Amino acid sequence: MHVELPMRVKVDLAHLVMLAERRLVARERAVAVLRFLETLASGDLDAADYEAYLAERLGPEAAGLLETGRARDDLDATLTSLRSRAWLLGFAEKAIRLEAILLARARAYEPVILPGHTRFRAAAPITYGYYLLGVARAVGREIDALVAAAGGLHTCPLGACAGAGTDLPIDPSRTAGLLGYLDAGRHALDAVASRDAVLRMLGAAAGLTVVLSRLAADLQAWSAAESNFISFPDRPRSTFPLEHLKAKPARLAGAWAGAVSAMAAAPFAGTAEVGAEAMENVWPGLAAAEQAVELAQTLAGGARPDAAADAKAPEAVGEHSYGGGPGAFAEPYQRAYASWVRHRRWCADWREAQAEADAALEAAVKSVLEQP
């Protein structure tokens, strides 16, 4: 499993601080390992060589301190969780930026007439701003799904050991807090056996790419020579980005299928099928979701309707103010805007909480090092 070295070092720092505070390891030995770990936090050592490197530089007994009160299973589960948390927060921030772009364009193009279609046949006219507002609302709901998926990533698995906990008086809640989690796991077997939070995260990301694929399909149709309603001044002749965006959900569907196929029929315990093979399917799918959001940001921000932006919608459009028609733009726009504000606040709060946890870990390491 690929894990960035600073993430692994952070886990080891938090774990060793807890062990030292609980007097489960001698302070002198803990200090020696902590000092060495601090030199690695910003290094470029391959995580695959990490444990061998520690044993080589510190000796097998000193390096073995880090295995006190934990096992490979809970360590791997924690590293997967931390990687998922970091990805989800960064991805959510990009999705919220896309939400803002869609809302801004919806407001700007509210009066611009758009030919409505039902099953590819001409229907009642709407406006381009009204269309974008609908997409923004759908994107907002997928962000809500990401927020819900994040709820499963706020519990730290570290301390569960191999699935039965330990007889050592460790303090998993302390370690969890130093790593930025809200709580420690309360069931050791569940903590090491389960990756359902990762699957929910992947599912929420897949849902968002489906919405964006449909946006791309419409933009491609409206930018065709036969329609000539939408143009892309920065990409006058290329539809490749739209085609890529339309296809992205397939990458996530494949990732989901691969992950659940690897998990299916695996024992409910810490297993390589679940912790390694299934997760190897997940990360490429998440990378494709990130690419989709970045593409959608560029395309939604760059698309320009050929009609004049100040053209007034005919009375027929404005009169459709019942049942959520384009004539009732203001109220759903305000609701969508309020959702965007809430999403942005959620991300900011999580970032702030993580920064506080990082500062607490730094202070805790310093306290152990400076104790007489």
In this structure, how many other beta carbons lie within 10 angstroms of the beta carbon of residue 249? 23
pLDDT of amino acid 315? 65
Concatenated DSSP letters of 280-294 = HHHHHHHHHHHHHHH
SS3 assignment, position 198: helix
Beta bridge mates, 231: 304
H helices of 264-329, in order, are 272, 279-302, 315-318
In this structure, how many other beta carbons lie within 10 angstroms of the beta carbon of residue 205? 31
Give the residue from 217, 207, 284, 280 showing the smallest Cα distance to 249. 207
What end-to-end distance do the CA atoms of the chain give, in Å? 39
pLDDT tens, 296-314? 999 999 999 976 433 455 6
Beta bridge mates, 85: none
CATH architecture of 72-362: Up-down Bundle (1.20)
Sorted by sequence, the CB contacts under 8 Å of residue 209 that are 6+ apart come out as 248, 249, 252, 288, 289, 292
pLDDT beyond 50 at 357? yes
In this structure, how many other beta carbons lie within 10 angstroms of the beta carbon of residue 307? 16
Mean residue pLDDT across the chain: 91
Tokens encoding 128: 């381009």
Domain map (residue ranges) of the chain: 5-69+364-370, 72-362
pTM of the model as a whole: 0.93
pLDDT beyond 70 at 236? no
pLDDT beyond 90 at 332? yes
Pair type for strands 155-156 and 183-184: parallel
SS3 assignment, position 114: strand
What are the angstrom distances between the C-alpha of 58 and each of 36, 65, 127, 163?
A: 8, 11, 68, 29
pLDDT beyond 70 at 42? no
pLDDT of amino acid 40? 81
Helix (H) / strand (E) element for 85: namely helix 72-108
Residue type, 230: I
Largest CA distance in the chain: 81
Q: What are the start-end ranges of the E strands in 35-182?
A: 113-114, 117-118, 121-122, 126-127, 155-156
Q: Cα separation of 280 and 109, whole Å?
A: 43
Cα dihedral 155, 2, 37, 6 sign: negative
Q: Cα separation of 155 and 166, whole Å?
A: 18
Average pLDDT over residues 238-248: 91
Q: In this structure, are residues 188 and 163 in contact, taking their beta carbons and an 8 Å threshold?
A: yes
The pLDDT > 90 percentage for the chain reads 73
pLDDT of amino acid 64? 85
Q: Cα separation of 289 and 95, whole Å?
A: 10
pLDDT beyond 60 at 259? yes
Number of residues that make up the chain: 372
Q: In this structure, are residues 295 and 241 in contact, taking their beta carbons and an 8 Å threshold?
A: yes
Average pLDDT over residues 279-308: 93
Tokens encoding 317: 């459009």
pLDDT beyond 60 at 202? yes
Q: Cα separation of 264 and 319, whole Å?
A: 54
